[in-house]
Amino acid sequence: MKREIRIDPVTRIEGHAKITIYLDEKGKVEDAHFHVPELRGFEAFCVGRTLWEMPSLTARICGICPISHILASAKAGDAVLAVRVPETATLLRRLMNLGQIVQSHALSFFYLSAPDLLLGWDSDPAARNVFGLWEKDPDLTRRAIRLRSFGQQIIERLGGKRIHPAWAVPGGVNQPLTSDDHHWIAENLPEAIDTIRFTLDLFKSSFVNTEMQGVLGEFPSLYMGLVAADGTWEHYSGGLRIVDQDGKILADQLDPAHYPDVIGEASEAWSYLKFPYYKPLGYPQGMYRVGPLGRINVCDRFGTPLADAELEEFRSHGSPSGRVLDYHYARLIEILAALERIERLLKDERILGTRIRAEAGINALEGVGVHEAPRGTLFHHYWVDEDGVIQRVNLIVSTGQNNLAMNRTVREIASAYIKGGSLSEGILNRVEGGIRAFDPCLSCSVHAVGRMPLELELLGPDGRVLDTVTRG
Amino acid sequence: MDFVIGIGNTLRRDDGVAARVIASLPPVPNVAALAVHQLTPELTLRLCDASRVLFVDAHCHDHEIALQRIAPAPAPVGSVHALSQQDLLGLTVELCGRAPHGWVLSIPGYDFEFGETLSDRTHAHLDAAIEAVVQWMRRQGGEVKMQGGRNEEAS
């Protein structure tokens, strides 16, 4: 008899999702769907507001990655104003984005996923959290909290508050960096670098080159991310690069504003989350991955010594990597790279400048803002009238771009671990863990108010629900 | 150093009452006030060396303003998105070996739907809540007198 298993809601992710696993008559996995049942809204209700409100409005999409939306929105505003953003403002926006990468990656790895990795997939679900991590390794937990706090402090010191700072605006930013804050960041940077190097060593000794490295599946796909003109890892500007499963560059230095030429958006009746794909290969063959694994697979180098040494070691295990667990490996390397970039920015005396905003009126009726959010490439595309009133909005967020790959991941893990239709909490947690590796932000990707429960359903061939497991 | 930490979302009507209280507080030496959406583990870093902490939060039970002493949870179990005040103090004990003395001032909320304004009923409690927090901030010992509310202090 055919059966269907649903995990609803998926836990320890940002937002609300459920997973359905379809079994055939023999109890083997036939298919799997990662559903996002949240409703979207921001693209619709931003219409009629002004361009200058957009950074603050779109920041409200999410409480975890508001900085990503503020920066993408401000960049789209730059394009509409057709201004050259002052150098200091660009450096400060870069600093803010690097702080965001550090705090968001630290949250994803230490708080949400490390309990699975360090306590075990089959450990007590009640202990698979930051408190369980504390019991297992108090020193690591203390370091993790301080590392995330370091990233948050950069945001707070630049923007005035950690969440939803009204700081980046079309044309620049509205507050410079003070000498005191510059000093604080520089003083605390060495501890942050020490923590991430310690964590990378721990991760590599536990997972790399072990059978655990394949625990979340491995499959080919395309990869996409921004790179600098010379192919160096980039997070704020640069051009789009897309590589295939063999590392062959399919497209390079694409102007991000021309994303519709290469990215199509499909939809399915069973999810509110869109399915972006690489247009030349069609849907769904054009599946690509973004985020830490996407970026590390497309760049030539990080351009900083410690991260480049880690990149060389990462690639010694096969490049590009299609292993889902390597999202975590890449995430840790990116934290190190971000910290090195912060160090470099602090040494640039222009960062303490006070010319931080270019003022202008509406000089273009359309603008695209793109940068690398922690979870992947983020696109804000606005159309305005002569008064700067928003006429249309298109947002393509990282989580949506990983949608096809997340569905494939669920299918891979379920096929590997679910035999004869038998289930255990540990198997369900592996399926969820595969999703968690992508660090999906569903509040962003469907532009909805986020909730975070999880449900699993088992259905018969006639669609009848045979069993349901609900958490949260 | 003492801390006053207001908890809540200003876009969810009465849930934002604590942020209103924090914004209305006068400066008091050696007391820091901050408003947060939710309690997160990073706050332990601020509380490690603090003497006292007062959490201000909206509650949805139908009783008046209440000031309560709280103790650290012996075995904190919250998630990173939803730490209770007791969990946060418990985590502070775990990470720092100690935690500040804790209080919670809860203010009744009646409407938690979308919106940036308080309901009339919660707004009516605002002045008394601010006064209670100011008393707590200035207190060097002795009982905090509540106006029209409940004081469940153990001191």
Query: How much is the pLDDT for A463?
Result: 62
Spatial separation of the C-alpha atoms in residues A379 and A17, rounded to whole Å:
22
Chain B closest-CA separation from residue A161 CA (Å): 9
Chain A residues close to B75, C-beta within 8 Å:
131
Q: Are the Cβ atoms of A129 and B80 closer than 8 angstroms?
A: yes
CB of A51 within 8 A of CB of A392?
Answer: no
Query: How much is the pLDDT for A82?
Result: 97
Q: Are the Cβ atoms of A146 and B80 closer than 8 angstroms?
A: no
Pair of tokens at residue B112: 């938690």
pLDDT in tens, A46-67: 999 999 999 988 888 776 778 8
Helix, strand or coil, per DSSP, at residue B5: strand
- The backbone torsions φ and ψ at residue A395, rounded to the nearest 5 degrees and listed phi first, read -115, 125
Of A113-127, A150-164, A395-409, the range with the highest mean pLDDT is A395-409
pLDDT exceeds 60 at position A452: no
The nearest alpha carbon in chain A to B92 belongs to A142
Q: Which residue has the higher pLDDT, A343 or A444?
A: A343
The nearest alpha carbon in chain B to A135 belongs to B94
Q: Which residue has the higher pLDDT, A5 or B95?
A: B95
Q: Which part of chain A is CATH 1.10.645.10?
A: 53-212+362-389
Spatial separation of the C-alpha atoms in residues A470 and A418, rounded to whole Å:
19
CA distances from A383 to A45, A51, A168, A266, A380 (A): 14, 9, 19, 22, 10
Bridge partners (DSSP) of residue A223 are A243, A289
ipTM: 0.75
pLDDT in tens, A397-423: 888 899 999 999 988 888 888 776 666
Of A59-73, A389-403, A437-451, the range with the highest mean pLDDT is A389-403
The nearest alpha carbon in chain B to A64 belongs to B81
Query: How much is the pLDDT for A418?
Result: 76
B115 touches chain A (CB under 8 A): no
Among the ranges given (A24-33, A49-58, A132-141, A328-337), the one the predictor scored with the smallest mean pLDDT: A24-33
User: Which residue from A63, A126, A130 is facing B41, i.e. has the nearest CB?
Assistant: A130
pLDDT exceeds 70 at position B152: no
- Say how many Å lie between the first and final Cα of chain A, rounded: 30
CB of B89 within 8 A of CB of B72?
Answer: yes
What angle, 0 to 180 degrees and rounded to 10, lies between the N-to-C axes of helices A179-207 and A305-315?
20
Q: Are the Cβ atoms of A149 and B45 closer than 8 angstroms?
A: yes
Bridge partners (DSSP) of residue B101 are B52
Picking from A437, A378, A396, A404, the residue whose alpha carbon sits closest to that of residue A277 is A404
Residues of chain B with pLDDT > 90, as a percent, come to: 66
The nearest alpha carbon in chain B to A63 belongs to B37
B77 touches chain A (CB under 8 A): yes
B78 touches chain A (CB under 8 A): yes
CATH of domain B2-152: 3.40.50.1450
Query: How much is the pLDDT for A466?
Result: 55
pLDDT in tens, B47-71: 999 999 999 999 987 678 999 999 9
Chain A positions contacting chain B at CB under 8 Å are: 12, 60, 63, 107, 111-112, 126, 129-131, 134, 138, 141-142, 145-146, 148-149, 152, 163, 452
The CATH fold assigned to A53-212+362-389 is: Cytochrome-c3 Hydrogenase; chain B (1.10.645)
